[in-house]
Amino acid sequence: MNGNGIERVGRIQLRVHDFDKSVDYYTNVVGLDITARDENRVYLKAWDEWDHHSVILERSDSAGIDHIAFKVTSNDELSKLERKVEQFGCTVSRVSNRSRVGEGEAIRFILPTGHSFEFYNDIEYVGVPMGRVNPHPWPDGLRGIAPHRLDHALLSGDDIKSTVRLFTESLGFVQTEKVVTIDGENTIASWLTTTMSGHDIAFIKGPDAKLHHVGFYLENWNDILKASDILSRNECEIEVTPTRHGITRGQTIYFYDPSGNRNEVFTGGYAVYSDFPTITWTEDKLGQGIFYHARQLNEAFGTVFS
């Protein structure tokens, strides 16, 4: 969308402490496919994703996020982005080729919110089960919720201002929406995109280097309702039953994986162009912005991070 060389959110690596139960959950309840595994990591993709993986589960003693990464259009763009990030003031390191299964070289740096963030271009291409010639709209044998793709993540940290400046001024993201204090002086949440989606990544004021949730994309509202049925059938912890966001206009449900990482399945929203104006919400309307029907936040939604 922006000509900044950044294609989309590409992958997220999550820490999980109940490893076997978490692998079963992400494959049979969420419905992702395993593409590789080793002693401490499992690599997964959704059925409508073309690259080798979008989710990595890492065996750990705690829950949370190891890093999130965006795919870029070429290795030349990777070098350009490396310089931009360094000019902003972040220290950049190189992740060597094949440090993880199926991946080439990447650059890694720490956001002002404390999160590890990566850009990469090289990753193995595995395609989708329907193929590229006269394909059916979906494959046989889908399991569980079966989202189309990894969609976004919401992360928490203290320095929202610098983080938004990095993404908008240095990396060319569009800030689609923000939440400000009543006096308008401070931003307490921001939604950012490099595609035509309402958000590819978002940040909310909170503890540094934490995950609020990882979101997966479904096709329509009926799929959201079915996801709720599947979660209940499997006795998973559902935090918020199907509803609508005011912010992004999406339809949603929130729930937890066995380690306590919050998940979301999401659909709807609006298209974003490079001249999209930032929509502003004031803090007193945050409840309505997040949960448009209930118009208030539950206690855990604003306090539970992993």
- Choose the catalytic residue: 25, 43, 254, 256: 254
Reduced to 3 states (helix: H, G, I; strand: E, B; else coil), residue 283 is helix
Distances (CA, A) of 227 to 86, 176, 243, 289: 42, 27, 12, 23
Asked about 152 being catalytic, the answer comes back as yes
Asked about 136 being catalytic, the answer comes back as no
Taking only the tens place, the pLDDT of each residue in 139-194 is: 999 999 999 999 999 999 999 999 999 999 999 999 999 999 999 889 999 999 99
- Choose the catalytic residue: 52, 115, 245, 256: 245
Band (pLDDT 50/70/90 cuts) for residue 199 is very high
Q: What is the DSSP string of 29-91?
A: IS--EEEEE-SSEEEEE-TT--BS-SEEEEE-SS-EEEEEEEEES-HHHHHHHHHHHHHHT--
236-241: long-range pairs with CB below 8 Å, 24+: 236/25, 236/29, 239/298, 239/300, 239/301, 240/291, 240/298, 240/301
CATH value at residue 47: 3.10.180.10
Does 101 lie in the same domain as 14? yes
Asked about 264 being catalytic, the answer comes back as yes
Predicted confidence at residue 297, as pLDDT, reads 87
Taking only the tens place, the pLDDT of each residue in 65-122 is: 999 999 999 999 999 999 999 999 999 999 999 999 999 999 999 999 999 999 999 9
Q: How many domains does the chain have?
A: 2
Q: Is residue 82 part of a domain?
A: yes
Q: Which residues is 238 bridged to in the sheet? A: 255
Does 163 lie in the same domain as 108? no
Predicted confidence at residue 124, as pLDDT, reads 97
Asked about 115 being catalytic, the answer comes back as no
Q: Could you give the count of Cα atoms lying within 13 Å of 147 in the half-sphere of its Cβ?
A: 29
pLDDT of residue 285 exceeding 70:
yes
Residues sharing a CB contact under 8 Å with residue 123, sequence separation 6 or more, in sequence order: 10, 51, 52, 53, 71, 102, 103, 104
Predicted confidence at residue 25, as pLDDT, reads 98
Q: Is residue 72 part of a domain?
A: yes
Asked about 148 being catalytic, the answer comes back as no
- Choose the catalytic residue: 67, 115, 212, 213: 213
- Choose the catalytic residue: 52, 53, 115, 152: 152
Kindly report the number of other CB atoms within 10 A of residue 104's CB atom. 17
Domain that holds residue 261: 149-302
Provide the whole-model pTM: 0.96
Q: Is residue 131 part of a domain?
A: no
- Choose the catalytic residue: 199, 212, 217, 256: 199
